[in-house]
Structure formats: C-alpha cells, structure tokens
Amino acid sequence: MRFLFFIVARLLANCSAHPRYNPQPYPPVVRPRQASPGNSSSLQIDLGYEVYEGYTNSTTGLNVWKGIRFAAPPTGSNRWQAPQAPQTNRDAVIQANHFGPICPQNQDTTNTLVALNSTGSSEDCLFLNVYAPPNPPSPLPVLFYIHGGGYGRGNGQQDLSAIINANNNSFVGVTIQYRLGAFGFLAGDEVFRNGVVNAGLLDQYLALQWAQRYISLFGGDPNHVTIAGQSAGRFPLSLQDMAYGGSQGQSLFRNTIASSPYLPMQYGYKDWQPSQAYYAFASMVGCAPTLPYGAHPNTIFECLVSQDSATLQNASATLSESGKYGTWAFLPVTDGIFVQDLPSRQLLRKELNGLNLLVSNNALEGPAYTQPNITTEDDLVAWLQLTFPLFTTDDIAKVLLYYPSANDSTKPTAPLYASSGTGSPSFINQSSVATGQQQRAFAIYSETTFVCPSYWMAEAYSDHGRNSFKYQYSVPIAVHGTDLTAYFGPPTPNQSPDFVSAAMKIWGNFITSDNPSIPNAVANGLSSNSTFSNPASDWPPFKMYSPYQINLNVTGGTPFPFNLSYIKANLTEYGEPGLVNNFTLVDAYTWEAGRGYRCDMWRSLGSIVPE
C-alpha cells in the first residue's frame, strides 16, 4: 500500500510540475475601459489584463504596438516554471512605442558569428510586438515570427514592415521573445521534478495561445496563422509542429515556414549531457555539489531559484562559451510531454500539428559552426569523434563512406567556387568558402544539423491532406543566415531588387494563400522582361516519389570583395549591375551527389546523434 501511495504521489507531483495543454491560459476579457473624451482611437487595444496604445509609422503606414506583455515575469518563484498569464494591471494606458527588455544573452563557443549585446536585457522579457495594416476590410492572415540564435541569443525586434508592405499590406505580423540559455533551457532531473524543462518552448507556446485569444483585436485572423522562424527560431517551430505528440491539430496555427531549421543534438532531460550542464551551472553560482539532492528544502534547484539574476546570467553565458566549437550549453531536450520523441523519429511517423509547410536550407549552412583548420582525414576523424561522442568506429567509417574525398582538384589550395548541385565536384568537396577535408566537415555538419531536418520536414508534411514546398537559397556566398535580409530587408549587395521582390512574395503568398507560387514576371525579375516559364510560378509540392525543390539563385553581376570573419579568407561576391534571377526546378534527392541518400543515412543514425 505504501508503495502504491508513493507511485500516486510521484504521478501527481509530475502532473503539477509539468502541466499539459491548457486551452484557456488567459483570464476572460474584462469589460473594456472607457476612453477619455476625445481620446478614442483604434490604436488603443484593451486586452483585459492591460490596455496598450500603439502608434502609426509614418514611413510604412502600419500600426505598430511594441512591448506587449504576454506572460507574467518569469522571475522569483516563476523561474524555471511554465509561463503564467500576466497579472491584471489596468491603472493606466501603456504607451506601446518601445520594445520590451531583451532576454539575457549567451554566445556560442565560436564567438565569431555576431557581436553579443546584452544591453537592456532582463529576465522579465516575455514581450511581443505587432505590426498591422490599418483598417483592414476583413481579418487578415498572421505571420508569427520566432527569432533564431542557437537558443542562446536574439530578440523579438525584427521589423516585419518591409515584407508586409511588399505584399500589399495583406497580413499582420507578430514577433516574440522567449527565455534563452539557462533561463529557458536548463534541464536535468531536479528541474523536471521541481519545475519545467524546455521553458523557452513553453514561452513560445503561450505566445501562440495569446495570438489565438487577442490577434483579432489587431485585425488578424486567428484561424490563418503562419508560424515562421530561421535557424534556432525555426526548429523550435518544428518542436511546436510536434508539440504534445502532434495532437494539437490546427488549434494554434495553420502553416509553417522553416528557414534553415536548426536541429542540434537533442538528449533526454536527465541524460548525462544536460545533467552535467546542470551541475556545472549550479557549481558556478555556489549551489553545488555540497547541497543535498532531492525534492526537499535546500535542494540545488531551490538554491538556483534564490540566486540573483546577474550571477545566473554570468554563469549561463560563461558555461555556454566553454563547450565544443559551435555549440551552446543549453538546448531543448526530450521530456516525454511537450517534446515526446527525437524529431527524426516523430517526423517519420508524421505526428504533426498544422497543415502546410514551406521549408528551405541555404547552400552553405555549416561553416559558422564547424571547427576550422581541418586539413587531413585524421583531423576530420578527430572532429567527428568529438562532435558525435556516441558514434562507434563503424559509425564514423559509415559517415566517411557517404562523404568521400575527391581528386586533387579539391585540395585546400584549389580555387573556391560554388558547386552546381548537379555536376562534379559536388558540395561534399567544393564550395565558395572551402575545398578538401575542411569542406567535407562543412558538408557533414550542414546536412546533419540543418539540411536533412529540412528534408525530413518536407517529407513529413507531404501527405495526409498536408502540403509541403521546398527551396534552397543559393545566392553566393550562401552561408547560414544570409537569406534573412532577402525576406525582411535591408538587402545585401548580392541580393538584387528583383531577387528580394521574389523572395518576399514567395513568403507572402504562402502566408496568405497557403502556396508559395508567384507571378511569372516576378519570378524572372521585373527588370529582365523575360517571358521564360519560371518554375516558381507553378511551384510543385514536395512528395516522397517526386521530391522537387526550387533552387533560388542569381547569375551575372559585378564582382566585389567579401570577407567572412570565421573563414578568415578574402572571398568574392557579385552585385549590381547585371544580376538576374536564376530559379530552377531540381530533384532534391539526387541534388549534390545524392543528398537524399545521405539524409536517409543520418536518419538511421538519429538515435545516437541524437536528433
């Protein structure tokens, strides 16, 4: 009997610590406050718990609300707990004309991608922003954008005005923030039993619920939401696609846009790796290992909750910079509730939320995250052993077999140029930033972490009444993240006005009509006057037996020097005048010397990557 009581108590404890889907996290909307005489405005939005006054941007013509609170401060006893709905605060109208504080930031171990700026950061950072066309005749579709940054950095300050304007103000935009680093992704058995793991993902989920409740007040249609993100902003969306085992249907969103979905190693919440990160983090702030373990007073977890924010922020940033090259210390984990399985397995079972998918990868995803100075095959093997600690010698041999060395034309001293995708040498040995063994490493990391997840997602959404569409961004030099300026602006010199117009409308048409096809003239480029039948004007869906993708590239142009700090090489890009859109339909499976076969290989190794 005592054993049965213990089991029941544990189950109840877990249920309280890990609440399942709450369909109504926000309180009923109270009666709207009365506006002062002469102060009535469509810019004043009453959310029930707070009232916000937005403003009209005179340049874009959009109504904007910044710094809207969607959750209570995740501080004090709310630290490492599921996000809570905000407390009611109706004392005054809040002027929504500036962004809320950003969440505490972490750098990865390369320290080269972007300058880290934590100015104005705070644990109390769960805010969102809305960009809306004024006076829409009917509710508009919604773009719900989640920022990237390796789950350790980034913020919700991405301006969505350019892409909304480029699509004739045909949708509403929302950007959000979520807890990062240790605050959002601390894991371990104590965290699971006393709070929640994957807190940052739960923040995103609550923000989606906020949109369902309130976006209609801003002119948006809660039944036509497209979630979008890039890199680590994208794969949390995949985890939202798979949330609660894919049991949520279209209750929170209809479509997904996945730009370079980032799939780092996903361990179980109490596996060795997240547990070691937990104890290392606790040690840095003086909470371990002398304190007793367990769910009782003076646990390590309670010690962490009691620490001041600055101490925790410093430890989170320091630990994140001390790991393997190109990694972050705090990442999503499999918890058996919100994240129920490895993505490679759940995507194969097609247990998904949402209806339609637009997914992409860049031609060169790996360089920013892959160890440099790999010049021999011994160097490559050593890097593989470090990067994939669960691999056996046979597993490494299998990877090398699928990524073979080429001939002397791909020595490290060989000329740098982008592979064609259909010819030889392929992406495995040749790119615009590297050749030889270094490029083999870039190719391996690119495909296991970014490219193959995009293939698996495209396949998962390819039937059961769903549709998926796929493309590759190949405008040289197409390293990770360089496509973002084509969607949101301002464009870089290698992105012509014709290309940017097409890219923005590809996203816009998918958001508004569930299909990325664009007018033929826009796909070819309005300045080209071409009547060529462009594949982007009649975009075929991705299917298992017809895995089509469109390769988005440009030709022509004028060369100019370009430098990548993490490559430490002087490179060449091409800009105006002379750039012409070059969109081609290709077989994604045979692309780059059989990429589909390599993605099948990575799926077979998914449980030990793990991904």
pLDDT per residue as tens digits for the range 521-577:
999 998 898 999 999 999 999 999 999 999 999 999 999 998 887 776 789 999 999
pLDDT in tens, 447-485: 999 999 999 999 999 998 999 999 999 999 999 999 999
pLDDT at 400: 98
Question: If you write DSSP's letter for every residue of 332-376 in order, what string do you get?
Answer: --B-SSSS-S-HHHHHHHT--SSSEEEEEEETB-SGGGS-S---S
Q: For residues 509-519, give the mean pLDDT.
A: 99
581 has pLDDT over 80: yes
Q: With cut-offs at 50, 70 and 90, classify the pLDDT of residue 290.
A: low
1 has pLDDT over 50: no
SS3 587: strand
pLDDT at 24: 76
Tell me which amino acid residue 64 is.
V
4 has pLDDT over 50: no
Neighbouring residues of 568: CB distance < 8 A, sequence distance ≥ 6: 372
Asked if 124 and 32 sit in the same domain, the reply is yes
Asked if 34 and 180 sit in the same domain, the reply is yes
Asked if 137 and 262 sit in the same domain, the reply is yes
Residue at a domain's end among 303, 319, 354: 354
Residue 509 included in any domain: yes
Asked if 136 and 216 sit in the same domain, the reply is yes
Asked if 433 and 349 sit in the same domain, the reply is no
Residue 276 included in any domain: no
Residue 280 included in any domain: no
pLDDT at 509: 99
**Rounded CA separation 147/133 (Å):** 22
Answer whether 410's CB lies under 8 Å from 373's CB: no
Q: For residues 184-195, give the mean pLDDT.
A: 97
425: containing domain: 366-604
Residue 33 included in any domain: yes
607 has pLDDT over 60: yes
294 has pLDDT over 70: no
Asked if 397 and 341 sit in the same domain, the reply is no
234 has pLDDT over 60: no
Domains: count for the chain: 2
Asked if 135 and 219 sit in the same domain, the reply is yes
pLDDT at 30: 46
Asked if 373 and 243 sit in the same domain, the reply is no
**Rounded CA separation 522/516 (Å):** 12
The domain that holds 80 is classified in CATH as 3.40.50.1820
Residue at a domain's end among 354, 380, 397: 354
pLDDT at 14: 43
pLDDT at 411: 67
Neighbouring residues of 570: CB distance < 8 A, sequence distance ≥ 6: 561, 562, 563
The structure tokens listed for 154 are 């980034």
Residue 322 included in any domain: no
Asked if 538 and 572 sit in the same domain, the reply is yes
Residue 505 included in any domain: yes
pLDDT at 31: 44
Q: With cut-offs at 50, 70 and 90, classify the pLDDT of residue 3.
A: very low
pLDDT at 106: 86
Asked if 491 and 345 sit in the same domain, the reply is no
Residue 324 included in any domain: no
Q: Roughly how many angstroms between the first and final C-alpha of the chain, as a whole number?
A: 41
Residue 158 included in any domain: yes
* Count of CA atoms in the C-beta half-sphere (13 A) of 585: 16
pLDDT at 21: 55
**pTM, two decimal places:** 0.92
pLDDT at 257: 97
Q: With cut-offs at 50, 70 and 90, classify the pLDDT of residue 36.
A: very low
213 has pLDDT over 50: yes
Share of the chain above pLDDT 70, in %: 88
Asked if 575 and 599 sit in the same domain, the reply is yes
Least confident of 143-147, 414-418, 476-480: 414-418
pLDDT at 529: 87
